[in-house]
Amino acid sequence: MLAQRLRPSLLNSSRLPLRSVPRRIHTTSPLLLRIPRNITALSTPCRPGTIPRAHKFTAVTPAGAHSRTLASGTPLKKRSRLFQALYRTFAIFGFATLTVGGLVVALFVYDATTYKDEAEKYDIGVSEIALNPRTGGPKNLPIAEVLVDAEDLGNLKQAAGKPRLVILGTGWGSVALLKNINPDEYDITVIGPSNYFLYTPLLPSATVGTVEVRSLIEPIRGIVRDAKGHFLKASAVDVEFSEKLVEVSQTMPNGEVRNFYVPYDKLVIGVGSKTRTHGVKGLEHVHYLKDVTDARRIRAKVIENFERACLPTTSDEERRKLLSFAVCGGGPTGVEFAAELFDMLNEDLVHRYPKILRNEVSVHLLQSRSHILNTYDEALSKYAEERFARDGIDLLTNSRVVAIEPDRVIFTQQDEKTKEIITKELPFGMCLWSTGVAQTDFSQHLAAKLEAQHNKRALETDTYLRLLGTPLGDVYAIGDCSTVQNKTAPLISDFLKQIAWERGIKDPKQLHLTFSDWRLVATRIRKRFPQTTDHLKRLDKLFESYDEDRSGTLDFQELNTLLCEIDSKLTSLPATAQRAHQQGVYLARKFNKIAHAAPGLKMNQVVDGDLDAAVYKAFKYSHMGSLAYIGNAAVFDLNGYSLGGGLIFLYLWRSVYFAQSVSFRTRLMLAMDWTKRAMFGRDLVNF
């Protein structure tokens, strides 16, 4: 290092004695070297490339710094690795302590700003129409043209010029629509019997205390307020399509029922569904799992059975019946509830209750088909069955429930050897019924009013999500309450009529399509029915296959056969949260597009009054995959990729649902619940 400080021209090339070297060497280093006089009297000259040995060098540091003396030929001592590690550890610990302390102080400062000592009063004008609405409609009911919070959201006159968008329901589709709609383009009103959004995928976890119910709900008023909308906690009971009025009902605490109308320009129906009964009698003795109330009732019933099983007056037979839990339905909800229940029994029951209860408890899963999770990949279904068999969960496949009694399930099962149908009984202390979805009473009422509705399980819409049988662009349906009609054959006549008219042919059945005509028809079909895209990839092969007479053309009958074959391959969209979410996002984007494009559209751009088709494409569902929790493990069915395993997949399963939560608040509460379960176990308190 000293050699770098001294000029080579003075030490090496001149071979001068050391006394000729200047006393002070100016360098860019903050360390200034001073050479004592007593070593300059050396008689031996310096050899090129060497440094004369000194008896002592003194390093002079800048003012305020410490100086160190270097012995001749002895290098600087380095600090030990232990010292460096301790230094860094204390530095990191100190920084973390200061950071956490700063955050705590900031939290207290923020918390102090949230308290108010004086009551605030607002001088807000309320419209007379909001307080005393006019009456009208077929039943001469009050019409809520202006709501009492209209002035809270800004200019009432500006809101009056916007189209009225009324949304029925507070589920996945409605929330996705609210989060993506442009609030400046529509006057939004949300109507629902619940003032919260429920995160349904984790509802089975709430039945046993893995997560709290509060962690799964988000106040809907906050979401509606962000969209500059209004919320009414009530239930829709009817729709007057001709007058664009929604009849809403509200039951008062004294039992009085009050009905009124809410006008709309666009109506979105997202009222969800109810559990399908399959005509089984005795379902008043079972529990459902569709809402917060259901989860709380199941949790209370499970804990109550445990407490009763501990009483000295409970016989062995009664104890075994109390600790027998039956689950009817092998879909995702039933499978996840059975898995959550087993985890709670295996991990928390033995630490809180007598150990004899663990030996007598039993979980039974009844499935009418040959496998559970039958909509998943076959390998995942078998993996789940093997996992349940290892955990001791009793799987009863090919079992069809015929009746439910107060304390037992009556079901039939086919004998594997004799193939005979045998009737069996299964005593239970609690039974969960989860066997698919069906229409709500409101949806059934609407379907009965519309002649175009023929589906008994859901409201039918076209590919633009418009409710069939209603004026175009007025009423839409999304989520579990609806299904998209994908029948191409009945609607192909419109395309053929247009082609026939262009060619001067009166009867479309006499039309013969060439390959270029078929390609044009296929393009229109793909645009109108996006789900047919995968089935219309090789048009040449389809044309050749269905040209039975080898005439080089397709007649009406051959084309109809081709389209009916495609229809048979199309499946109904699944009644899942991701489908409802995608439909809500689709409607929001389309409504935004309509609001911007409608004023500038020309008459020739709108065919047959179909504004939706003129400004936006048809809805296409994109399946992102399916997940299922199977007891400290999870399975993933991701569009052809099947994954499943233990804790790693459990954490992946949690990560997916954690990321899909609708707010930072619910994510924070979920993280706290999972941490609390790991540290203290599940909460087994019944209150």
CA distance 351 to 344: 11
Residue 478 in contact with residue 269, Cβ under 8 Å?
A: yes
What per-residue string of b and e applies to 116-148 under the rule 16 or more CB within 10 Å gives b? eeeeeeeeeeeeeebeebeeeeeeebbbbbbbe
Residue 156: the pLDDT is 60
Contacts of 173 (CB under 8 A, 6+ apart): 268, 270, 478, 479, 580, 581, 583, 584, 587
Q: Which domains does the chain have, with CATH numbers?
A: 2-70 (no CATH), 283-438+625-680 (3.50.50.100), 487-569 (1.10.238)
Residue 81: the pLDDT is 79
pLDDT in tens, 396-455: 999 999 999 999 999 999 877 777 899 999 999 999 999 988 999 999 999 999 999 988
Identify residue 605 by its one-letter amino acid code: Q
pLDDT at residue 106 tops 70: yes
Rg, C-alpha atoms of the chain: 38
Tell me whether residue 40 is exposed, middle or buried, using C-beta atoms within 10 angstroms of its C-beta: 0 to 12, 13 to 18, 19 or more. middle
pLDDT (average), residues 511-518? 76
DSSP assignment letter at 235: E
CA distance 186 to 595: 8
pLDDT in tens, 534-562: 667 666 677 777 777 777 777 777 777 77
The number of C-alpha atoms within 13 Å of 677 and in the hemisphere containing its C-beta is 19
Residue 411 in contact with residue 401, Cβ under 8 Å?
A: yes
3-state secondary structure 347-400: HHHHHHCCCHHHHHCEEEEECCCCCCCCCCCHHHHHHHHHHHHHHCCEEECCEE
Residue 113: the pLDDT is 85
Identify residue 232 by its one-letter amino acid code: L
Q: Which of 36-40, 231-235, 661-665, 669-673 has the lowest mean pLDDT?
A: 36-40
pLDDT at residue 69 tops 90: no
Contacts of 71 (CB under 8 A, 6+ apart): 56
DSSP codes of every residue in 591-652 = HHHHHHHGGG--GGGSSTT-HHHHHSPPP------EEEE-SS-EEEEETTEEEEESHHHHHH
CA distance 146 to 167: 16
CA distance 515 to 504: 19
pLDDT at residue 576 tops 80: yes
Residue 608: the pLDDT is 55
Look up residue 377 and give its two tokens: 């990949």
Classified as helix, coil or strand, 542 is helix
Strands 196-198 and 235-240: unpaired
CA distance 419 to 625: 36
CA distance 325 to 366: 11
* Partners of 513 in beta bridges: 554
How does the average pLDDT of the chain come out, rounded?
83
Residue 650 in contact with residue 634, Cβ under 8 Å?
A: yes
Tell me whether residue 381 is exposed, middle or buried, using C-beta atoms within 10 angstroms of its C-beta: 0 to 12, 13 to 18, 19 or more. buried
Please give the angle made by the CA atoms of 218, 222 and 228, to the nearest 5 degrees: 145
> What count of other Cβ atoms lies within 10 Å of the Cβ of residue 195?
15
Of 239 and 64, the structure prediction assigns the larger pLDDT to 239
Look up residue 644 and give its two tokens: 């499943």
Residue 13: the pLDDT is 45
DSSP assignment letter at 572: P
Identify residue 640 by its one-letter amino acid code: G
Residue 352 in contact with residue 641, Cβ under 8 Å?
A: no
Alpha carbon separation from 298 to 149, 269, 366, 631 (Å, rounded) = 38, 29, 18, 18
- Four-point Cα dihedral 326, 328, 332, 335, nearest 10: 20
Contacts of 362 (CB under 8 A, 6+ apart): 320, 323, 324, 325, 394
Classified as helix, coil or strand, 559 is helix
pLDDT (average), residues 16-20? 44
Residue 182: the pLDDT is 94
